[in-house]
Structure 1
Amino acid sequence: MTGFVETAQGVRIAYDREGSGPAVILVGGAGQFRAVDPGTRALTSELARRGYDVVHYDRPGRGDSGGEAPFTLEGEVAAVRALVEMVGGRASLFGSSSGGAIALAAAVAVAGVERLLLWEVPLGAEEGEDGAAFLAEIDALAASGDREATLRRFMAGMPPEWFEGMRNGPAWPMFERMAPSVRADAEALAWTQSAPRRRLWARVEVPVVVLLGAGAFPFFAEAADSMVASLGRAERAEVPGAGHGWEPADLAKALASHLSP
């Protein structure tokens, strides 16, 4: 059954919750929300079976969650804060892809984050300018109201069949609705380049595990090395998987091994 929680700004966030035990909140990436993401639904159940209280939610502007454009990193962090408070004030965060950048920002700003587990976060070079330029492009496209162009630009560096499958699939109306929300993903990635990372993430004192698939694209490995070098208690780990994808049972097993004290 879908539950709802409100952020401090009054945005209603929809979520599924399964299991009991230590809380884990799953922060989706650019194209992920509950209605189109069976892999994360399965991951929720796999982790619940392993003894965790798992929250799988729709980020602002997606699925059953509310929110109005422009979608911001601040709004994403507010959603995580509301969910952490909802589960009792303490939770680990799993951030997938650009959701990993949001999870990092939440760990800086939200009390009660206990651990971070980050899957293939597509960071640019430390203090690079490409993230800010990309954000400016996404801002302009989102402001124009051209949702298809917004999503097409956001996914321009990915295998072209990913976007074409989305555009020509039955879920396209749902993706089209959420297109403005990728602005927050672009802002999160730009934020990771906004200052030296050791300084930017100095308040992240919790354990961090940076996860990569066995067949990860090289730039994900470079980003992982940057995170491990810049975070005080970070390590890198490999999970079976390729092409930015994972199998729920494999990932749940890896996450559970790193969530254990």
Structure 2
Amino acid sequence: MESVVVDGVRLGYERAGSGPAVVLVGGTGMPPVAWQLCGLRDTLAGAGFEVVTYAARGVAPSDAPAAPYTVDDLAADLAGLLEALGLTETVVVGYSLGSFTAELLARTRPDLVRAAVLMAGAGPLTGVLDAVLAAETELIATTGRLSPAFMRLQTLLSTLPPGVLCTDDAQVRTWLELLGAQEAVWTSAEGENGQSAASDRWLRDEHRMAALAQIAAPVLVLAFEYDLYFPPGSGRVAAAALPAGHFAQISGAAHGGLLTHSGETTKAILAFLAHVDLDEADRSAGESLG
């Protein structure tokens, strides 16, 4: 993995394929290899795109400055990375926390974003997510960090759809084992606390939904049917608020649909990219692609 220093923060990144640039922006604690595991990176590279993946600040092997972070910090890091690589008018695909980064970059640096995909991360703050954020903030304030056991439980319950959680104990235990290695993705506890603080501040910003109207680029809001944090109803609200918003839903998936329903997710993203390329003159706000 190569690296570049952006405003004093070293960011690790990789490039694959050739063609129009697509940058994949991971969620909380998400290492770049996850984009390979779900198949999206290689599929896009094989479809004629240059794909950039990177570790956001706080995630190994990138640096972890002192917490807290903000989404402004994360978007500035991404802007600096793209500038260092000489990339403009990219397609930015963000997942969860990465969706916040992609959304802000599209709004503040339109020269860098030709189109965006906001996956499992667009829409108003729900009651469920409000409760999760409050619990995370309290844990960090009282213990100094989010306990590994808490993070495993939270990620497990949000990642898998209810049918799997209730009926497929073997799969649940497999995921528990995978999540047991999650701590290794963090550069340090500062990175974990920093990213958590960035999410909390972003989601509690009362002006962020109105700011969607400032994004001129075409944006796909991609929601998962059983996402506890960003359910389809929230995604539709976000898509309707975007001047060139589109909406697609992945049936049967929860917040972790990127991994559990990777084929369907990849298909929806490719369909959006084909629409942007082939039907650029005929975009309408709130249009549904599936």
* TM-score, L = length of structure 2: 0.73
1:251 aligns with 2:265: yes
1:65 aligns with 2:76: no
Q: Say if 2:22 and 2:91, in contact at 8 Å, map to a contact too.
A: yes
Q: Secondary structure at the match of 2:81?
A: helix
Q: Say if 1:212 and 1:238, in contact at 8 Å, map to a contact too.
A: yes
Match of 1:47 among 44, 50, 68: 44
Relative to structure 1, the CA distance from residue 203 to residue 134 in structure 2 (aligned partners, 3 Å threshold; closer, same or farther) is: farther
Quote the residue 1:137 is aligned against.
138
Aligned AA (1:114): R
Distance in 2, Cα, partners of 1:216 & 1:32: 20
Please report how far the alpha carbon of residue 198 of structure 1 lies from its aligned counterpart in structure 2 after TM superposition. 4.7
Please report how far the alpha carbon of residue 203 of structure 1 lies from its aligned counterpart in structure 2 after TM superposition. 2.5
1:221 aligns with 2:221: no
Choose 93-102 or 18-27, whichever is displaced more: 93-102
Q: Say if 1:198 and 1:231, in contact at 8 Å, map to a contact too.
A: no
Choose 69-78 or 175-184, whichever is displaced more: 175-184
Distance in 1, Cα, partners of 2:238 & 2:190: 28
Relative to structure 1, the CA distance from residue 97 to residue 256 in structure 2 (aligned partners, 3 Å threshold; closer, same or farther) is: same
Quote the residue 1:78 is aligned against.
76
Please report how far the alpha carbon of residue 51 of structure 1 lies from its aligned counterpart in structure 2 after TM superposition. 0.8
CA-atom RMSD in angstroms: 3.4
Please report how far the alpha carbon of residue 23 of structure 1 lies from its aligned counterpart in structure 2 after TM superposition. 0.7
Relative to structure 1, the CA distance from residue 221 to residue 178 in structure 2 (aligned partners, 3 Å threshold; closer, same or farther) is: farther
Q: Secondary structure at the match of 1:65?
A: coil
Q: Say if 1:102 and 1:188, in contact at 8 Å, map to a contact too.
A: no
Distance in 1, Cα, partners of 2:179 & 2:126: 33
Q: Say if 1:46 and 1:249, in contact at 8 Å, map to a contact too.
A: no
Relative to structure 1, the CA distance from residue 179 to residue 10 in structure 2 (aligned partners, 3 Å threshold; closer, same or farther) is: same
Largest Rg, 1 or 2? 2
Distance in 2, Cα, partners of 1:51 & 1:6: 28
Per-residue Cα deviation, 1:94-142 (whole angstroms, up to 9, x for no partner): 011222122112222223211111212275538999387467436526x
Aligned AA (1:174): A
Please report how far the alpha carbon of residue 44 of structure 1 lies from its aligned counterpart in structure 2 after TM superposition. 0.9
Quote the residue 2:283 is aligned against.
none
Unaligned runs of 5+ in 1: none
Q: Say if 1:125 and 1:193, in contact at 8 Å, map to a contact too.
A: yes
Aligned AA (2:239): V
Per-residue Cα deviation, 1:235-255 (whole angstroms, up to 9, x for no partner): 111346623324444433322
Distance in 1, Cα, partners of 2:123 & 2:136: 13
Aligned AA (2:257): G
1:3 aligns with 2:9: no
Relative to structure 1, the CA distance from residue 120 to residue 129 in structure 2 (aligned partners, 3 Å threshold; closer, same or farther) is: closer
Distance in 2, Cα, partners of 1:94 & 1:119: 7
* TM-score, L = length of structure 1: 0.80
Quote the residue 1:125 is aligned against.
125
Relative to structure 1, the CA distance from residue 128 to residue 151 in structure 2 (aligned partners, 3 Å threshold; closer, same or farther) is: closer
Aligned AA (2:218): P
Aligned AA (1:11): V
